[in-house]
């Protein structure tokens, strides 16, 4: 490829997916993701196993991304990488690889905040939100309402005080005997059931979230019903899943409605792994229509962890000349 526009190779390795993407101008040419199914047998991500898998996957994944994009290493203008938050061992693999590659090519290194990248996933393709907008960022590790003033100017105005929405899905699924990750499975069964069972909504002040109490309520509900009927889960799985999903979605939507009321902003986006949930996507679209919001949801492939969102975030940092150096280190928490 003749390099006439900005070309960035981006790397994402914050948890258990190894991903590489190539951006050319403002277009994503490739977005390769290698998943680690081995964690299913453990019911969650094992950090040491994840980091070892990243070491095995990163070279083939980067090579595949470059080949799909028809880009050579000599075409690259910069290397971008997630440096946090995430699992330390996983992040170290991506950061070390990116630093070495940038140094060897003598091109800029760009560090990208994982959660900011989830927000900027909205700008990969049309339709794109206008500034300012509110973004509900929901994943396995984070639940936030972000006031997005500009590409690189964001303010977290609401956050979970304990567990994240994605964790609530996964832990509830584990109680039901579902595999990992349980979120997609709960979503699948919820489509076949009705939300007959009632779970409490945490009464949190301001725009903050809490899901630990909900998890306890679901655990007690299941335990108590199993004492009376050992086949309770088997006979009511779809309805239980629908009820759990309905409550988690309502908690998220109600906080978002409150944020809109407080700020007056009606440009609304959702992103992060949980934004792939069909119940949440349907709810925000329906409520957006009812309340006059302009709503934005990235494509499914840009909701879960992926390097395309790292690439688009890096584009704006490159344009602002915000670069990292070889002292770059990962961080595990925001």
Report the DSSP beta bridge partners of residue 267.
Answer: 294
d(CA 181, CA 168): 11
Average pLDDT along the chain: 95
Report the DSSP beta bridge partners of residue 333.
Answer: none
- Cβ-Cβ contacts under 8 Å for 156 (sequence gap 6 or more): 144, 145, 146, 147
Q: How confident is the model at residue 181 (pLDDT cuts 50, 70, 90)?
A: confident
- The pTM for the full model equals 0.95
Query: Would strands 153-159 and 143-150 be described as parallel, antiparallel, or unpaired?
Result: antiparallel
Question: Is the pLDDT score of 2 beyond 70?
Answer: no
Neighbour tally for 65: CB within 10 Å: 25
Question: Is the pLDDT score of 190 beyond 90?
Answer: yes
Question: How much of the chain, in percent, has pLDDT values that exceed 70?
Answer: 97
Question: Is the pLDDT score of 264 beyond 90?
Answer: yes
Count each helix (H run) and each strand (E run) in the chain, helices first.
9, 10
What are the structural domains, with CATH classification, of the chain? 7-119+304-319 (3.30.420.40), 126-297 (3.30.420.40)
Question: Is the pLDDT score of 78 beyond 90?
Answer: yes
User: Which tens digits make up the pLDDT trace of 121-137?
Assistant: 999 999 999 999 999 99
d(CA 48, CA 174): 21
Q: What is the mean pLDDT of residues 307-326?
A: 98
Neighbour order of strands in the sheet with 267-271: 153-159, 143-150, 133-138, 267-271, 294-296
Question: Is the pLDDT score of 8 beyond 60?
Answer: yes
Is the N-terminal amide bond of 297 cis, ω within 30° of 0?
A: no
């Amino acid at each position: 490829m003749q390099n006439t526009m900005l070309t960035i190779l981006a790397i994402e390795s914050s948890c258990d997916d190894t991903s590489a993407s190539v951006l050319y101008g403002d277009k994503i040419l490739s977005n390769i993701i290698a998943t680690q199914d081995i964690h299913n047998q453990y019911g969650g991500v094992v950090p040491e196993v994840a980091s070892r898998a990243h070491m095995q996957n990163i070279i083939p994944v980067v090579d595949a991304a470059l080949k799909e994009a028809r880009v050579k290493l000599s075409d690259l203008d910069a290397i971008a990488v997630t440096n946090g938050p995430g699992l330390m061992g996983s992040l170290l693999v991506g950061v070390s690889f990116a630093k070495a590659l940038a140094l060897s090519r003598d091109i800029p290194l760009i560090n990208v905040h994982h959660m900011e990248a989830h927000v900027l996933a909205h700008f990969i393709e049309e339709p794109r939100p206008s500034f300012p907008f509110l973004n509900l960022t929901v994943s396995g590790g984070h639940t936030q309402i972000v006031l997005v003033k500009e590409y690189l100017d964001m303010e977290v105005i609401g956050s979970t005080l304990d567990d994240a929405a994605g964790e609530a899905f996964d832990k509830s699924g584990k109680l039901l005997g579902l595999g990992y990750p349980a979120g997609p499975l709960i979503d699948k069964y919820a489509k076949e059931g009705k939300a007959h069972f009632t779970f409490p909504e945490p009464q949190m002040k301001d725009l903050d979230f809490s899901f630990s109490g909900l998890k306890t309520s679901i655990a007690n509900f299941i335990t108590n019903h199993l004492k009376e009927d050992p086949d309770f889960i088997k006979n009511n799985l779809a309805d239980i899943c629908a009820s759990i999903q309905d409550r988690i979605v309502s908690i998220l939507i109600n906080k978002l409605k409150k944020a809109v009321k407080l700020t007056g902003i009606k440009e609304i986006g959702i992103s992060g792994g949980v934004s792939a949930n069909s119940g949440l996507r349907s709810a925000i679209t329906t409520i957006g229509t009812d309340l006059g919001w302009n709503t934005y949801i990235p494509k499914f492939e840009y909701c879960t962890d992926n390097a395309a969102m790292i690439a688009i975030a890096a584009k704006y940092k490159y344009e602002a000349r915000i670069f990292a150096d070889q002292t770059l280190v990962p961080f595990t928490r925001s």
